[in-house]
RNA sequence: CGGGGCGUGGCGCAGCCUGGAUAGCGUACCUGACUGGGGGUCAGGUGGUCGGAGGUUCAAAUCCUCUCGCCCCGACCA
């Protein structure tokens, strides 16, 4: 393709609203333009990249037996009501009405539609398993879209769904998909980690995320520096606590005045004790009502782990208004002693011999409080957030590290959540009706491209990994109006094109400096610079974007060498 | 949804506090000449009615009210 004919609106400066580097560079490189919050138009340069990512995904999904489909983006409300998600999904689900006032939604995900198809068409275990996928636009009305294509409302996603006669088959496909995903992200040139994840509102009991490590990531990833345990921070387990060897005799519970001291820090300073001597009582609102969670003063509650311990649909920290209304104690002085709520304590707290807690009245705390003696723990569990450098729960010597990550893929074994809601059954080999076991698997296409930029850029612009670069090579004539230069450039360009190499010919009349700047901004992996002097000595210059390294290769005998260089990239 | 910020040619910004004549600068774009290995030089040009509506005033980009949009932090989230 000739640069002069292409629509590549590059910018010298980033728009003020672009915060993260991938967003800035995508706009500057003429890949995308914003239409509304979280909604982007994809321009030719951007689409070339997305298509390459998609094709890698297709190849790897096909390799494990996936079959591509294309499902409707607009879906009738009835189906969502039947699965129970019309109400459960909340405001993130974009709802609309047609001219007959019938309710529809724009699909944020497609479990409901695909399960509806399969329940109608699959009758026998002989037809299972089935793995179907699609690459399509999703819409999720995110409260706060941000970071360009990293978290858009409308976005391109590969979503796959599998149906099985049993759990074992589902786990096999789950593993196959995990392998496919590793291949996809490796081929996209990404450094990633597969981590254990919470399955969240999608449901199910086995789930991993594929995280690209980058500072701009919205998730935190915890991983062991010794074994291969890695997990999303919201899922990360703490090691079993060891009981304290406290020899001091048990004291009676005492009330102490702590006027105006609300925070852990204030109370501990006031009483001259370390923060781990105190226990925080955090109230959570859940679909099963208000509960109390207890963690040590120096710890944080992990709401996801708490939610799983409670086995509830949702759990969120109660706001002050709710606490005042239900408990009547100001925040900061709530404690477990005499509290008329179910109390869930972190295992650490359950093992403590003595602690300081709020006294359930303003300006007072209790000291020498003992679990069991002074209050009852409904259920102890692992409900705290882990911290960097604390011991790994899975091996003897490992320590936790924590890094930021971008979630580019997520896989789930769903079990029968959707098949039971939508009654998707089949006859097993005994002739008995069974629920299908399902799995689902997603890759964010645009997010993968954005993540690739986050990991591969420098101060000049994008440094595309070769497999997803919009063009592999750019031919840059120093002056296209010089006959010898033009002829050589055209010839090189045509030869590359004939060999199936994505080449771009920068035939613009601009000076070479302009061409360098754009080629670097757009991130084309290889530049071939055609100048009169080198041409006279039978050579052209080849420059590698990533390293800046440049070398001369013979002309007109260039193609073997170019191919070698491309192979090495 | 809470907090903060911003809307002025395509992009980046100044002007607003303290109202005043043709709304300014850089860049981009167009024309011509020169130049031709790192966003080149010179000259001449095109393009905005200041997010929108209403108000105050002799006079509004500037002051007031309402409204829309965008961004950031938080809450939220496959």
User: Of the ranges A246-255, A262-271, A279-288, which one carries the lowest mean pLDDT score?
Assistant: A246-255
Q: Which residue is nearest to nucleotide B73 (CA to C1')?
A: A144
Token pair for residue A9? 């609106």
Q: How far is the CA of A26 from the C1' of B51 (A)?
A: 25
A259 burial level (CB within 10 Å; 0-12, 13-18, 19+): exposed
User: Is A272 in a helix, a strand, or coil?
Assistant: coil
What is the predicted pLDDT for the residue at A23?
A: 93
Question: What is the C-alpha separation between A339 and A327, in angstroms, rounded?
Answer: 8
Q: Nearest CA to A265 among A282, A277, A253?
A: A277
A444 touches strand B (CB under 7 A): yes
Q: Which residues pair with A94 in a beta bridge?
A: A106
Angle A445-455/A21-28 helices, nearest 10 degrees?
Answer: 100
Q: Over 80: is that where the pLDDT of A167 sits?
A: yes
pLDDT (0 to 100) of residue A263: 84
Mean pLDDT of the residues in chain A: 92
A547 touches strand B (CB under 7 A): no
Average pLDDT over residues A130-146: 93
Whether the per-residue pLDDT at A357 is higher than 70: the answer is yes
The whole-number pLDDT of residue A106 equals 94
Whole-number pLDDT of residue A287: 82
User: Residue A311: what pLDDT?
Assistant: 84
Q: Are strands A342-346 and A379-381 parallel, antiparallel or unpaired?
A: parallel
Q: Which of residues 222-281 of A touch strand B (CB under 7 A)?
A: none
Encode pLDDT of A43-92 as tens digits. 999 999 999 999 999 999 999 999 999 999 999 999 999 999 898 888 88
Considering only residues A328 and A156, tell me which one the structure prediction assigns the higher pLDDT.
A156
Nucleotides of B under 7 A from a protein CB: 1, 6, 10-13, 26-28, 35-40, 69-78
Per-residue pLDDT tens over the stretch A93-122: 999 999 999 999 999 999 999 999 999 999
- Rounded, the Å distance between the CA of A509 and C1' of B34 is 15
**What end-to-end distance do the CA atoms of chain A give, in Å?**
22
pLDDT of A202 > 80? The answer is: no
Determine the distance between A16 (CA) and B58 (C1') in angstroms: 39
Answer whether any strand B atom is within 7 A of the Cβ of A404: no
> Does strand B come within 7 Å of the CB of A534?
yes
Q: Is A460 within 7 A of strand B by CB distance?
A: yes
Looking at residue A17, what is its pLDDT? 87
Is strand B less than 7 A from the beta carbon of A144? yes
What is the per-residue pLDDT across A249-265, written as a single tens digit (0 to 9) for each? 778 899 999 988 888 88
Nucleotide lying nearest to A539, CA to C1' measure:
B37
Given a contact cutoff of 8 angstroms between Cβ atoms, the answer to whether A40 and A34 are in contact is yes
* Bridge partner residues of A409 (DSSP): A210, A443
Confirm whether any atom of chain B, the nucleic acid strand, is less than 7 Å from CB of A203: no
pLDDT value of residue A319: 78
Nucleotide nearest to A202 (CA to C1'): B78
pLDDT score for A19: 87
- Report CA(A2)–C1'(B77) in Å, whole number: 43
The answer to whether the beta carbons of residues A339 and A319 sit under 8 Å apart is no
Percent of chain A with pLDDT over 70: 99
Can you tell me the mean pLDDT for A196-210? 82
Please write the tens of the pLDDT for every residue from A385-404: 998 899 999 999 999 999 99
Cis amide leading into A410 (omega within 30): no
Residue A529 CB lies within 7 Å of the nucleic strand B: yes
Give every CB contact of residue A481 below 8 A, 6+ residues apart in sequence: A509
Given a contact cutoff of 8 angstroms between Cβ atoms, the answer to whether A371 and A350 are in contact is yes
Q: What is the mean pLDDT of residues A409-415?
A: 93
Mean pLDDT across A429-453 = 96
The answer to whether A12 CB sits below 7 Å from nucleic acid chain B is yes
Please compute, for residue A427, the number of CA atoms within 13 A of its CA located in the half-sphere on the CB side: 6
A508 CA to B31 C1', in Å? 18
Helix, strand, or coil (residue A476): strand
Strand B contacted by A486 CB (< 7 A): no
- Rounded mean pLDDT, A322-326: 80
Give pLDDT, residue A247. 65
Q: Is the CB of A41 under 7 A from strand B?
A: no
Q: Is the pLDDT of residue A245 over 80?
A: no
Distance A316 CA to B1 C1' (A): 15
Record the tokens describing residue A298, joined without a space.
């120096």
Taking the CA of residue A541 and the C1' sugar atom of nucleotide B4, their distance in angstroms comes to 52
**Range A222-250 average pLDDT:** 87
Task: For chain A, give the percent of residues with pLDDT over 90.
Answer: 74
Whole-number pLDDT of residue A218: 87
Asked if the Cβ of residue A487 lies within 7 A of any atom of strand B, the reply is no
Task: Determine whether A417 is exposed, middle or buried from the number of CB atoms within 10 Å of its CB (0-12, 13-18, 19+).
Answer: buried
Protein A16 CA to nucleic acid B64 C1', in Å?
29
- Whether A34 sits with its Cβ under 7 A from any strand B atom: the answer reads yes
- The pLDDT tens digits for A529-560 are 999 999 999 999 999 999 999 999 999 999 99
Across residues A333-356, what is the average pLDDT? 92
Report if CB A442 to strand B is under 7 Å. Answer: yes
In degrees, to the nearest 5, what angle opens at C-alpha A351 toward C-alphas A345 and A355? 80
Strand B lies under 7 A from the Cβ of residue A98: no
Give the residue with minimal CA–C1' separation from B36.
A511
Q: Which residue is nearest to nucleotide B77 (CA to C1')?
A: A142
Question: What is the C-alpha separation between A184 and A182, in angstroms, rounded?
Answer: 5
Please tell me the predicted confidence (pLDDT) of residue A246. 66
Peptide bond into A36 cis (omega under 30): no
Query: Does the C-beta of A112 come within 7 A of strand B?
Result: no
Instruction: Supply the ipTM of this predicted assembly.
Output: 0.93
Nucleotide nearest to A478 (CA to C1'): B37
Residues A262-272 have a mean pLDDT of 87
Residue A203 has pLDDT above 70, yes or no: no
What is d(CA A287, CA A528) in angstroms, rounded to the nearest whole number?
Answer: 63
Nucleotide nearest to A514 (CA to C1'): B39
Closest-approach nucleotide to residue A139, Cα vs C1'? B78
E-strand ranges in A140-239 read: 154-164, 192-196, 206-213, 219-224, 230-232
Question: What average pLDDT score do residues A334-361 get?
Answer: 92
Give the nucleotide at minimum CA-to-C1' distance from A476. Answer: B37
pLDDT at A185 over 70: yes
Q: Is the CB of A33 under 7 A from strand B?
A: no
Strand B reaches within 7 A of the A60 CB: no
CB A294 within 7 Å, strand B: no
pLDDT of A201 above 70: no
């Amino acid at each position: 393709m000739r640069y002069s004919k292409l629509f590549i609106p590059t910018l010298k400066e980033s728009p003020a609203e672009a915060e993260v580097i991938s967003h800035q560079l995508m706009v500057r490189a003429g890949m995308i333009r914003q239409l509304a919050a979280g909604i982007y138009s994809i321009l030719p340069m951007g689409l070339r990249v997305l298509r390459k990512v998609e094709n890698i995904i297709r190849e790897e999904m096909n390799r494990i037996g996936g079959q591509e489909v294309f499902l409707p983006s607009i879906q009738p409300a009835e189906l969502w009501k039947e699965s129970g998600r019309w109400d459960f999904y909340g405001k993130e689900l974009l709802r609309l009405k047609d001219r007959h006032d019938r309710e529809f939604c724009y699909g944020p995900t497609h479990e409901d539609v695909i399960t509806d198809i399969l329940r109608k068409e699959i009758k026998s275990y002989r037809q299972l398993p089935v793995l179907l996928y699609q690459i399509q636009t999703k819409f999720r009305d995110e409260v706060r879209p941000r970071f360009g294509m990293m978290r858009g409302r409308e976005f391109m996603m590969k979503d796959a769904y599998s149906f099985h006669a049993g759990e074992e088959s589902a786990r096999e496909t789950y593993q196959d998909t995990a392998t496919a995903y590793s291949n996809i992200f490796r081929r996209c040139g990404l450094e990633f980690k597969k981590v254990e994840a919470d399955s969240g509102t999608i449901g199910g009991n086995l789930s991993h995320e594929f995280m690209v490590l980058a500072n701009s990531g919205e998730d935190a990833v915890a991983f062991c520096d010794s074994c291969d345990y890695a997990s999303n921070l919201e899922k990360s387990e703490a090691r079993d606590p060891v009981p304290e060897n406290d020899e001091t005799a048990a004291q009676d519970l005492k009330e102490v005045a702590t006027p105006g001291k609300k925070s852990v820090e204030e109370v501990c300073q006031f009483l001259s004790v370390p923060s781990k001597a105190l226990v925080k009582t955090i109230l959570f609102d859940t679909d099963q009502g208000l509960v109390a969670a207890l963690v040590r003063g120096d710890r944080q509650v992990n709401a996801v782990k708490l939610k799983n311990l409670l086995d509830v649909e949702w759990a969120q920290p109660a706001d002050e208004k709710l606490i005042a209304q239900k408990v009547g104690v100001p925040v900061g002085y709530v404690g477990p002693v005499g509290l008329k709520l179910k109390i869930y304590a972190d295992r650490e707290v359950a093992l403590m011999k003595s602690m300081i807690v709020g006294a359930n009245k303003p300006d007072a705390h209790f000291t020498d409080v003992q679990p069991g003696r002074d209050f009852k723990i409904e259920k102890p569990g692992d409900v705290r957030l882990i911290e960097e450098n604390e011991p790994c729960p899975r091996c003897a010597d490992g320590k936790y590290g924590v890094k930021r990550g971008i979630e580019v893929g997520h896989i789930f074994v769903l079990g029968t959540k959707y098949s039971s809601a939508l009654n998707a059954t089949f006859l097993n080999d005994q002739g008995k009706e069974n629920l299908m076991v399902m799995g689902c698997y997603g890759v964010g296409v645009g997010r993968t491209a954005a993540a690739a930029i986050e990991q591969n850029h420098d101060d000049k612009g994008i440094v595309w990994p070769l497999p997803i670069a919009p063009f592999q090579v750019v031919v840059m004539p120093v002056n296209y109006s010089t006959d010898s230069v033009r002829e050589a450039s055209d010839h090189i360009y045509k030869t590359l094109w004939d060999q199936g190499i994505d080449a771009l010919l920068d035939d613009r009349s601009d000076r070479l400096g302009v061409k360098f700047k754009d080629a670097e901004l757009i991130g084309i992996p290889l530049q071939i610079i055609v100048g009169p002097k080198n041409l006279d000595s039978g050579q052209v210059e080849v420059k590698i974007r990533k390293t800046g390294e440049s070398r001369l290769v013979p002309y007109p005998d260039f193609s073997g060498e170019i191919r070698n260089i491309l192979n090495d990239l």
